[in-house]
Amino acid sequence: MATDNFISKEVSQDGMTVRVEAERTGAGAWMLRVVGRRGQISQWTEFFASSTEALTTGLTAIRYEGIEDFYDDPVFRYLQDDKQTLQH
């Protein structure tokens, strides 16, 4: 998906898919996010001069960190197994 202010690219690796998003801010800079399978967001605190620079940074992070770091949030990993119950 792409517009003048938003570009999104799905990335799949090892059976996992995440979405890399670049969005233009009001200041003309580009914000970068990677969205995991349950909608959790990894958002960069720095801004980028272009959508290409933002997307390249996201793709590089996925390549070096591993897609699994963006695919699932370990804090909510219990959601993967519906049979597991929470202990209070």
Residue 37 · residue 14 · CB < 8 Å: no
Q: Give me the pLDDT at residue 58, please.
A: 97
The DSSP secondary-structure symbol of 34 reads E
Closest residue by Cα to residue 54 from 43, 69, 41, 63? 43
Residue 35 · residue 21 · CB < 8 Å: yes
Ranges of the chain with pLDDT below 50: 82-88
Q: Give me the pLDDT at residue 4, please.
A: 84
Q: Give me the pLDDT at residue 75, please.
A: 60
Q: Give me the pLDDT at residue 87, please.
A: 46
Q: Give me the pLDDT at residue 86, please.
A: 46
Residue 48 · residue 54 · CB < 8 Å: yes
